[in-house]
């Protein structure tokens, strides 16, 4: 499957590939922007909601602490009242009941949320004040059976808060749930426990004391023992904390306030005055619904991208493909043989560089073809001249041999030898049209030329040829050595009056064939020698350097490089009025021999 998919992908056009990649990139980009926008906005909303909940929680704690302190003030006021303690004593005075009754009525009338006050005592009838109704109250004995009574007795100093739950009803027949504060009443003079003071209010009024929550915001007040005193909806009052669904129904002693159900936003605060826990709760989803606009905007943007992808990617890809199509069209023309093609590219980017590079390549190919064409023409002309020079060579040999024979008959032996050497020179020079000859034949040409030159200069010239016998069969290009010897004679020996000497050496060294021609002629001037060396090192054709005066050397250099490669070369060393040495170096691995050719090894 991956191989088929790769084959299908490679067969797509650039425009199709552009659309294939362009669409996912746009979708990923827009989706990422929408995701990060939604995430950032939701974090900001949740942070603001959390701050608002913290403010609500702090305000609720403040209101409830004020309420609790007010109740503590009422208790302190009554506990310090000598009339109340007198009323609860075994022998109360006649007017203590009137004074206490007036005092309590005055206290309750000045408090907005307190509707009832009960004073239980084992030695006195229960004192009852209720601004709501005259219902019968619970007996002290029944009250002692409740958990709130147990908590009150166990904490004489602070007292206890409670709420009517189960069968516990402070006022029989009153269905309104009461939240109340219970504390032992102690005589400050003798510290005798004289009774129990209970101050209460309806849960609805208790709820109003901390203010009604906003819509979808729930406030829950939990007592220190895990009893829910009140909540903003009134549905949890009197229940246990374990019944709340927000903390996985764990007991309040084990709860981790920061670890709650993720569907809810919950802020927690606790009161240092009462020990109450205040929870402010909101559903997370409802708070994030206002961010749905970002979600729908992202979806709409992605749909818009899907609709605009085809025309947009087609337009953009056209900007890239138009110059490429020009180049492809021109390449087809070049393939058909039109090397005059040039692409008009005005861009300066990578495509423009490609177009300019293509134009340069076509121009160089055209120039190379022209050079090859001219080279082939020159080669054909040379072959034609060679063929013309080889027309009936036997006539020339036979004529020279006849002249030499007649010279011998007439006693002109020296003349006969010259004619014979000249005949040999022409015969080896032509070599039946062969371009490659053995080194021994090349040396025969050199020896014939030196012999004729020696006679010409009337014994002014002497020469020597030094070559190892095993190198005689090595094949070399024809006339590769004779031009060097001719240069030594014409430009070296001919220019001096003293005795001239030419030495030819052929040897093998370090895997190369070394050929040296040394003369004791007049040498080469330093400036001309520098030009000649520079021309030899140059890669340009020898015909361009006729002004150096070393055309034969440069032509020989070109022949060596063409035949043996860059490993072959010429070195020249000369000193004025001392002489000149020209050395040719040919890699031995490129050389053949007549034995190798006859054996079929090359």
| DSSP conformational letter for 131 | S
Q: What is the pLDDT of residue 542?
A: 42
Q: How far apart are CA 49 and CA 249, in angstroms?
A: 25
8 Å CB contact between 100 and 81: yes
H and E: helices and strands count for the chain: 17, 17
What pLDDT band is residue 196 in, cutting at 50, 70 and 90?
A: very high
The answer to whether the predicted template modeling score (pTM) of the entire model surpasses 0.75 is no
What pLDDT band is residue 306 in, cutting at 50, 70 and 90?
A: low
| DSSP conformational letter for 11 | T
pLDDT, the chain, mean? 80
Distant-in-sequence, close-in-space partners of 226: CB < 8 Å, separation ≥ 6: 240, 241, 242, 251, 252, 253
What pLDDT band is residue 510 in, cutting at 50, 70 and 90?
A: confident
Q: How far apart are CA 406 and CA 162, in angstroms?
A: 160
Q: How far apart are CA 30 and CA 32, in angstroms?
A: 5
Q: How far apart are CA 196 and CA 187, in angstroms?
A: 11
Candidate from 163-177, 294-308, 564-578 with smallest mean pLDDT? 294-308
The pair of three-digit structure tokens given for residue 96, joined into one six-digit string: 């203590």
8 Å CB contact between 45 and 336: no
- The answer to whether residue 41 scores a pLDDT higher than 60 is yes
| Phi, psi of 177, deg, nearest 5 | -70, 140
The pair of three-digit structure tokens given for residue 528, joined into one six-digit string: 């001309």
Q: What is the pLDDT of residue 426?
A: 65
Q: 250-260, pLDDT tens digit by residue?
A: 888 888 888 87
Q: Helix %, strand %, coil % for the chain, to 5? A: 55, 20, 25
8 Å CB contact between 130 and 115: yes
Q: Is 41 exposed, middle or buried (0-12, 13-18, 19+ CB in 10 A)?
A: middle
Q: 209-234, pLDDT tens digit by residue?
A: 887 667 778 899 999 888 998 988 88
Q: How many CB atoms lie within 10 A of CB 248?
A: 12
Q: What is the pLDDT of residue 517?
A: 94
Query: H helices of 336-392, where?
Result: 350-389
8 Å CB contact between 102 and 129: no
């Amino acid at each position: 499957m991956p191989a088929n998919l790769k084959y299908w992908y490679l067969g797509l056009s650039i425009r199709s590939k552009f659309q294939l990649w362009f669409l996912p990139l746009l979708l990923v980009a827009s989706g990422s922007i929408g995701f990060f926008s939604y995430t950032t906005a939701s974090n900001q909303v949740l942070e603001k909601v959390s701050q608002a909940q913290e403010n609500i929680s702090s305000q609720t704690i403040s209101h409830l602490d004020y309420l609790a302190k007010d109740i503590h003030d009422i208790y302190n006021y009554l506990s310090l009242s000598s009339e109340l303690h007198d009323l609860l004593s075994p022998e109360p005075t006649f007017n203590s009941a009137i004074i206490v009754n007036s005092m309590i009525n005055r206290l309750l009338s000045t408090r907005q949320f307190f509707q009832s006050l009960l004073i239980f005592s084992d030695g006195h009838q229960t004192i009852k004040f209720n601004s709501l109704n005259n219902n019968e109250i619970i007996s002290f004995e029944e009250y002692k059976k409740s958990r709130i009574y147990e908590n009150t007795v166990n904490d004489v100093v602070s007292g206890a808060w409670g709420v009517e739950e189960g069968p516990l009803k402070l006022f029989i027949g009153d269905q309104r749930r009461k939240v109340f504060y219970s504390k032992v009443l102690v005589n400050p003079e003798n510290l005798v426990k004289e009774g129990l003071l209970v101050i209460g209010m309806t849960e609805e009024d208790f709820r109003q004391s901390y203010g009604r929550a906003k819509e979808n915001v729930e406030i829950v007040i939990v007592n220190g023992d895990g009893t829910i005193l009140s909540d903003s909806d009134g549905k949890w009052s009197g229940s246990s904390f374990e019944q709340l669904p927000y903390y996985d129904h764990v007991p309040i002693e084990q709860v981790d306030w920061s670890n709650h159900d993720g569907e809810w936003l919950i802020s927690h605060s606790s009161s240092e005055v009462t020990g109450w826990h205040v929870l402010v709760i909101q559903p997370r989803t409802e708070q994030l619904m206002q961010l749905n606009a970002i979600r729908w905007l992202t979806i709409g943007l992605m749909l818009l991208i899907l609709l605009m992808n085809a025309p947009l990617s087609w337009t953009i890809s056209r900007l890239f493909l138009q110059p490429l199509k020009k180049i492809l069209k021109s390449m087809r023309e070049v393939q058909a043989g039109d090397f005059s093609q040039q692409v008009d590219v005005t861009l300066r980017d990578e495509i423009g560089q490609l177009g300019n590079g293509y134009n340069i390549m076509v121009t160089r190919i055209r120039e190379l073809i022209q050079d090859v064409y001219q080279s082939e023409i020159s080669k054909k002309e040379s072959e034609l001249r060679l063929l013309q020079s080889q027309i009936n060579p036997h006539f020339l040999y036979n004529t020279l041999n006849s002249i030499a024979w007649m010279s011998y008959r007439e006693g002109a032996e020296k003349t006969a030898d010259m004619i014979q050497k000249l005949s040999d020179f022409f015969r080896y020079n032509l070599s039946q049209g062969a371009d490659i000859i053995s080194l021994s034949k090349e040396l025969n040409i050199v020896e014939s030329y030196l012999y004729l030159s020696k006679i010409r200069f009337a014994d002014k010239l002497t020469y020597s040829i030094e070559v190892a016998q095993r190198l005689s069969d090595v094949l070399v290009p024809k006339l590769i050595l004779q031009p060097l010897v001719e240069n030594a004679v014409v430009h070296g020996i001919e220019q001096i009056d003293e005795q001239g000497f030419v030495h030819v050496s052929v040897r093998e060294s370090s895997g190369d064939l070394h050929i040296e021609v040394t003369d004791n002629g007049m040498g080469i001037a330093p400036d001309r020698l520098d030009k000649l060396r520079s021309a030899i090192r140059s890669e340009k054709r020898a015909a361009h350097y006729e002004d150096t005066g070393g055309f034969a050397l440069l032509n020989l250099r070109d022949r060596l490089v063409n035949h043996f490669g860059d490993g072959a070369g010429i070195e020249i060393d000369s000193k004025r009025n001392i002489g000149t040495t020209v050395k040719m170096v040919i890699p031995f691995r490129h050389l053949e021999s007549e034995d190798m050719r006859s054996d079929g090894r090359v």
